[in-house]
Chain A
């Protein structure tokens, strides 16, 4: 990666900086370079399209982890400007890798829960690189039960490499915290819309990911294991991550085909990091549209549909079916 830009973006980034330079030159020296600029801009548009229309799964992984990719709070500030954060699990402490709180959406209150990574080293240490401890999941569940009590819909934003794997997390019951969330989320009596905005890292993502609608940003990923972890197991070499990323089928398009997600939210050309406002407005529109549909369902129907949705996931056969095939 060069200056926070990805390898495959480099030709484009170089071209864009040349255009910017010409613009500055035009302004400062008062020489008309419009023609050159137009030519270069056409070239850039073509290049942009070529690069981003044909991303490989591993390039999408890089986009999902792009250092400039909007993080949960960047999007929350744009989608929910009056977001009021609430803290703590009332049991142990306040986990900073998961944030939660209240906001108004189109005139109605909602509960927002999100996994939050850091932008720089200092922030990342405070946020534990977006890897929640059990108390993070318990805070999320506390706020979800609160939402249920007051009849507020729940919106969760997923962006985590995974639940934190460490001794303290074991001591405080990481597995139990995740399991309990999965169980309770499946029967909460308010609508739940889940948006995978960056990295959907396995159980750590799913622990706030059981909902009525699962939406996913175009370049986000969602996987049972990181490509590096998979490569280490399968090829005994983490450098086969690109092969693993392809084999695991972790892109939004793959997940839509596998019927694990309901909808892909488009990103600006070149990825979410190129235009936060457009990304946020696409997410907001998708959330609002889905909530409007869910709000029409009565509670029993809603919960039954959610149960059936996950109940039907999985692909398997009866032995005699195979005989037929």
Chain B
């Protein structure tokens, strides 16, 4: 006998959702003016939003939500979300973890710290993952690891390029060793895509550190960082606390990391869509195997 349960079970694995509504494109509350957190200049709200939350005066990149990034990066109505119904458990019975995830879900409107799906960028189909720093610091627990892994596997299966925009404080402490293992799991999945000749572009947004940086975020064929993003294995605070080292100004920022050879490109958020399209074109038709090469 068909029950309500069966109805839920028979849902397709990948749920199509409609293009994020205009609300997703909005990042700031009502009010006409804001003061730039960096340069202090007064900015017209609409102007800041139109420049994708990058200060038009000083170029400061505000943190933005995953939905906002997607809405402003992909072709209209092209995003189809994967695995939107995956939710975290509390495998260790960790103090206050369920409350913490519930609060994060309410705050962000997401079930977890990454949104994945397929979409088009200037007409080119790609698999996209975008992390949400507002969800427990974009930390990677079992769900984030699983969704990133499935996205990489989907890229392998569909022979589409993979793009992941990462912003994270690292592994999710509340899931203990299981979150550490997501580093191995996601890296292994990227490894399979890599061996098969698939293109993976990793975009590092502020901040991107620790367990995420020490796994899939560092494994891109091409690694892009937003300007002045904190990009590190151990952030400045960790270093100052644990080894009491004095740090020079600007250490751990995208520019420093590029200078030391670990980032290909620094790209302003307002240029990201164009730059990605250009890179995708350079690898045109090169999903896995690049069948149409030559």
Contact = CB atoms under 8 A, between A and B. Distances in A.
Interface of A: 163-167, 169-176, 178-180, 182-187, 202-203, 206-207, 209-210, 222-225, 230, 233-234, 247-250, 254-255, 258, 260, 306-307, 310-311, 313-320, 322-324
A179 B178 contact: no
Given A178-B233, A247-B92, A320-B9, A310 B188 contact: yes
Contacts, number: 203
Contact of B183 (A169, A172, A182): A182
B12 interface: no
A6 B198 CA distance: 53
Contacts of B11: 320
Given A167-B239, A203-B171, A320-B9, 6 more contacts: A165-B243, A178-B233, A179-B216, A222-B177, A224-B175, A248-B94
A314 B191 contact: no
B180 interface: yes
Contact of B177 (A169, A172, A258, A307): A258
Closest 5 CB pairs of A and B: A165-B234, A314-B142, A186-B188, A320-B8, A182-B187
20 contacts: A165-B239, A172-B260, A174-B214, A174-B234, A175-B218, A179-B183, A183-B194, A203-B183, A203-B210, A203-B211, A210-B184, A225-B171, A225-B173, A230-B173, A310-B185, A311-B185, A313-B184, A314-B181, A317-B87, A317-B88
Contact of B181 (A169, A187, A307, A313): A313
Contacts of A178: 183, 214-215, 218, 233
Interface of B: 5, 8-9, 11, 85-89, 91-92, 94-95, 111, 141-143, 145-146, 149, 171, 173, 175-185, 187-192, 194-195, 210-211, 213-219, 232-234, 238-239, 242-243, 245, 247-248, 251-252, 257, 260-262
Contacts of A250: 176-177
Contacts of A233: 173
A269 B111 CA distance: 46
B198 to A, nearest CB: 13
Nearest to A314: B142
A175 B213 contact: yes
Contact of A316 (B146, B183, B189, B238): B146
A315 B87 contact: no
B188 A187 contact: yes
Contacts of A164: 243
B111 A176 contact: no
B91 A170 contact: no
A41 B214 CA distance: 51
A229 B5 CA distance: 43
A313 B185 contact: yes
A156 to B, nearest CB: 13
A254 B95 CA distance: 17
Given A165-B234, A310-B185, A247 B215 contact: no
Contacts of B149: 311
A307 B192 contact: yes
Contact of B111 (A172, A183, A206, A319): A319
Nearest to A306: B188
Contacts of B177: 222-224, 248-250, 254-255, 258, 260
A170 B8 contact: no
Which of B87, B149, B217 has the largest count of A CB atoms less than 10 A from its CB?
B87
A148 to B, nearest CB: 14
B211 to A, nearest CB: 6
B234 A247 contact: no
Contacts of A173: 218, 260-262
A182 B9 contact: no
Contact of A315 (B89, B213, B243): B89
Contacts of B171: 202-203, 224-225
A318 B95 CA distance: 22
Contact of A314 (B111, B173, B185): B185
B239 A166 contact: yes
Contacts of B145: 313-314
A94 to B, nearest CB: 21
A187 B189 CA distance: 10
